[in-house]
Structure 1
Amino acid sequence: MSNSAIAVSGLRKKYGDKVVLDGIDLDVPEGTIFSLLGPNGAGKTTTVNVLSTLTKADGGSVQVAGHDIATEAKAVRAAIGVTGQFAAVDELLTGQENLRLMVDLHGLSTKAGKRTITELLERFDLVEAATKPTSTYSGGMRRKLDLAMTLVGNPRIVFLDEPTTGLDPRSRRTMWSIVGDLVADGVTIFLTTQYLEEADQLADRIAVLDQGRLVAQGTPAELKRQIPGTHVRLRFTDNSRLDGAARLFPGATRDDEALTLRIPSDGGTASLRALLDRLDEYGLAAEEFSVHTPDLDDVFLALTGNTAEVVAK
């Protein structure tokens, strides 16, 4: 089994009388992408701030990269990188100079620093723009440079706070590809995002935070199966077969024009096998068979009562 990159138990944080985090538990395996979703004010940013040692917790235990954040904060900081919602680049400097600044802050030798800068510029396709002021960069280029700066210290865990907000679809997918490459290299990603499609595409596991409490955790597929609306869609070649199948499944919804039958299901293998066996028992064959599940928008709405448009901080 994978080791935990981040292990959280009973995490609590409040500001005055307002409880922001009310005893949350998280476990993020090494080399995976973990996405934290939640409506405005749910406590996502506070969670990231606590895990990255920027804010002290009021209770609970947290280990990041095997280190206790309360007693080994320096070791935690050495193991992590944080990329905020807005690109933290100096617009008066070139891309190369921004990277040089991070190299100097990390205390790398001249030789190692030059090698790191060259590798990162190539990795993020910023070689041609390296000597240009970052004020001339597009939003996507700034986000790439920001992430490149985060990687100067070779962090084992990277916190990405809404890394693709405001980017066009092409730049967003470029960032997805970069994140995938990082995980392939063994980096652990802790992601917050306002795009549910992004979490669905990238995350190995997702946690939904609402009013300081975790209301659900699991893989994207597991979360979708929790929400009513999963169904099997069968399409037949003629009305006689459709009629026969409809008699077998009284709770199904039929569409005579499309010759389809929609049968409520949990989408699990056991229920699907039982459904197909029942059709076979009565000699009924469907021309098409598909399983339809709610998307993450449906999951988010059902769990929090909020629409996907307010998944940001």
Structure 2
Amino acid sequence: MAVRNETRITHFILLGLSSNPDLQIVFFVLFLVMYLFAIAGNILIVVTVHADSDLHCPMYFFLSHLSLLDLSLSTVTVPKYLANFVSQSKTISFSDCIAQLFFLHFFGGTECLHLTLMAYDRYVAICNPLRYTTIMNRRVCLLLVVSTWVGGFIHGFTQAFPSTLLPFCGPNEIDHFFCDSHALSLLACSSPFISETANMVNSGTLTVVCFLVVSISYVYIISTILKIRSAEGRQKAFSTCASHLMVMTLFFGPSVFIYMRPSVTFAADKMICVFYAIVTPWLNPFIYTLRNEKVRISMKKLKGRKVSLLGIHIN
């Protein structure tokens, strides 16, 4: 009678973006610089919105929460990638791997819902301007933001939990720079059909619902903007919506490609994941600050306030 020994995996090895030493250095420097700029830019937006009373309105309240989500989303993956490069060990424990997977989808799902909420906010502001302050009052805004976090938590849990039920007995090398449901399912000893299906249905439902709400909102928004007689008014409305649409494209594009298909790997997967893990959180502050004159003015006021507090006077 043969005895079969099975060893359950207790840790994984993250292979990163490339095995080429020169490219590894390039990616490390690039990720470090972009992450530092993402931290600085998103914190600056949060501080500016909360410090300037002129920005205490729903649009900028939602913008500050988007910056908080961008900061959280990039922090889930980038520090571990940078630490692995420095330590050369490239390992992550099973529990830490599941935690990373959960928080990745928790913040990612919350951001997906939050971007949809921002589309609804623009719809109310442009299509129902006279009722805007009544509909989007402080209590409603807080409830809507809390609901996105609750929805993101549910999404993160339903993505991470099926992976905890999969048996892992080797190999333990993840061909990625962070833990994700697709990468883990490929290492399972048994068929991951149930977990794959649950994850795909979960991500698909979230993405489709958000996409439909955003699409319907912008159909009404664009039709309303085209009816505005003033060219300046149309340009201002389009400018605000263009920033949001740009962010939506950068976030939803990679997410749809990665998560709304079975767990098969493509050569471009890892680079596409870089977009929502670090590129989008890095770009969002530039998109919103460089295109939004009100935010730029508030940042200058904040800078002047710091100078005044330090007792420095500039002629």
TM-score normalised over the length of structure 2: 0.25
Q: Which has the larger helix fraction?
A: 2
Higher relative contact order (CA 8 A, sep 6+): 2
TM-score normalised over the length of structure 1: 0.25
Q: Which has the larger strand fraction?
A: 1
